[in-house]
Chain A
Amino acid sequence: MEARPGLEDSEEFINVFSVRVSATAGSIALVCALASAPAHAVGVAAGTSINSTASVDYSVGSVAATAASPTVSVTVAEILDVVVTAPAAAVPVAPGSTAQVLRYRLTNTGNGPEAFSLVLDNAIAGDNFDPVAATPSIYLDTDASGTLTAADTIYNGSNDPVLAADAFINVFIVNDMPAPLVDGNIGRSSLAAQARTGFGAPGTPFANMGVGNTYAVVGNTGAAATGVGEYLVAGVTVSAVKTQAVLDQFATDRPLPGARITYTIVVSATGTGSALNTVFNDDIPANTAYVAGSMRLNSIAISDGADADAGVYETTPVPRVRVALGTLTQAGGSQTIEFAVTIN
């Protein structure tokens, strides 16, 4: 940062007051091991000393002199603040499903290290159903993987996560879903965190509870925060509609021996969820024979062999066609499968 004063003013002061530069002191001494901590959300680290020293220049007669004041120190007290961030999107669940995980983020937005107690609440007004807490139901993301793993720690009410200023930890809530649920229903689950030192109205002081025996003071968050996560019942129904067209050797539609029957099957998904790994199976009808190479998916020919494309014609256990359709959603639209047989 480079600075220069307005020229006129600078000259004026130099002429009139013969201003001298004197080193004024304002130094900083960290009294705890937070020197290497990253920038702090709510300000200077608790326990920091803020120092100030004034100086004076003067003259008596023609003799100049200078003097400094004793250094005045103010210690930065601890602010207690916490933020709980709920999952950004609702977690899709099926009715009756178990161990459904919501990921919250707990951030110490205060300026000193703090332990936080955690409480799960599933009885939240305004939703369609109450998730049922699994046992155990709260995990700390000990390995910082972002997903619930075997290495993560069960929270038992006494092993509070201790976070440095500005640090965060992921917290997982695990719930089971009730069975009778309707597609589109929402169930909410909240995670509440409170600073162990204390919480309450912003400004509430706790004497000698802060870093280095300073005051700890409740910050703007009240030193308590709640994040509300959502489960969305995402049901999906897959339906298939099959039609047939007969073409005999006389170019009519009579089902004579030797006539060819072309089947068209439209597969579609309805509902808010996703149908995963959807596979279409159709046995070849009795007294008919599959027409080799007749399979098509969305008007594109697919081979009979078990290969890279989605379709395969199998002879065991019974002759049938199989088409792997992958993930189906209502938004993704329908899939059209065609194959042909001849009448024996």
Chain B
Amino acid sequence: MNTGKNVLGLIALAAYFASPGAFAQSPADGCITLTSIAEIEQQVVNEKGEKSSKLVPASTVVPGVEVIWTVTANNVCKKPSDKVTINNAVPAHMTYVANSATGPGSDIVYSLDGKTFGADGQLTVSENGATRKARADEYKHIRWVFRDSLQPGATAFARFRAVLN
């Protein structure tokens, strides 16, 4: 049966991606696994009365709270990965927090529309016939461009903060 075959094919394809590296079709596929987590900062006071903050997983948040999004890229292949670029949209209903994007070893660019990217302070907005600099809270997309290759077994981090509207 034609339909049944197709379904089986899809399952097989899914299995490929589910076990990255081992059954990779090309040398590149599945070499990097990507995870993303959402956390919030929690103030804790220790027995000495000292205040510090720690990150705790965010499952529910209220408007006005800053969520810290951390993306982790891990090279699971035996060869280095080059030209590693991590992309993350600022989630809907959230506002990017200025200067919060970090990523060791990366250059960070931003975009308002997901098409045109530029460094912080370089994007412009046309408004009422005039052109002005885009504000950080208008950034909708963030891109981390890693300068060096990601070596086998190595991990790259990208992080940003956004406030729930």
Q: A21-B114, A215-B60 are in contact. Are A59 and B125 (CB under 8 A)?
A: no
Within 8 A of A (CB), among B40-92: 58-64, 67, 69, 71, 73, 77, 79-92
Chain A's closest residue to B131 (CB) is A4
User: How long is the Cα–Cα vector from A210 to B59 in the complex, in angstroms?
Assistant: 13
Residue A245 at the B interface, CB < 8 A?
no
Chain B interface, number of residues (Cβ within 8 angstroms): 67
Tell me the complex Cα distance, A111–B93, Å. 13
Return the contact of B114 from the options A23, A50, A56, A61 (Cβ within 8 A): A23
Please tell me which one of the listed residues B34, B84, B94 contacts residue A54 in the complex, with CB atoms under 8 A apart.
B34
For the complex, give the distance between the alpha carbons of A25 and B141 in Å: 10
Distance, CA A219 to CA B158, complexed state (A): 32
A79 contacts partner chain B, Cβ-Cβ < 8 Å: yes
Q: How many residues of A contact B (CB 8 A)?
A: 59
Q: Return B115 CB to nearest CB of chain A, in Å.
A: 6
B112 within 8 A of A: yes
Is there an interface contact between A9 and B82, defined as CB atoms closer than 8 Å?
A: no
Contacting B at CB under 8 A, from A2-57, are 2-6, 9-10, 13, 17-28, 40, 42-44, 48, 50-57
For residue A5, which residue of chain B has the nearest CB?
A: B118
Q: How many angstroms between the C-alpha atoms of A190 and B87 in the bound complex?
A: 54
Q: Which of B63, B73, B80 has the most CB of A within 10 A?
A: B63
Are A2 and B126 in contact, with the CB atoms below 8 A? yes
B32-A65 in contact (CB<8A): yes
Q: Mark B20-52, 1 if CB is under 8 A from A, else 0.
A: 100000111111111111100000000000000
The answer on a CB contact under 8 Å between B63 and A43 is: yes
Specify the main secondary structure of chain B where it touches its partner.
strand
Q: How many residue pairs bridge A and B at CB < 8 Å?
A: 213
Task: Pick the contact of A61: B20, B28, B64, B165 (CB < 8 A).
Answer: B28
A224 part of interface (Cβ distance < 8 Å): no
A286 within 8 A of B: no
Answer whether residue B123 sits at the interface, using C-beta atoms and an 8 A cutoff.
yes
User: Are B36 and A1 neighbours in the complex by a CB distance under 8 Å?
Assistant: no
Contact B164 A76 (CB under 8 A): yes
B2 at the interface (CB under 8 A from A): no
Chain B residues within an 8 Å CB radius of A250: none
A50 touches B27 (CB 8 A): no
- Residues in A neighbouring B62, C-beta threshold 8 A: 43, 76-79, 111, 215, 217, 219
Interface residues of A in 57-75 (CB under 8 A from B): 57-61, 63-65, 67-72, 74-75
Interface residues of B (CB under 8 A from A): 20, 26-38, 58-64, 67, 69, 71, 73, 77, 79-94, 107, 109, 111-119, 122-126, 134, 138, 141, 143, 145, 150, 158, 164-165
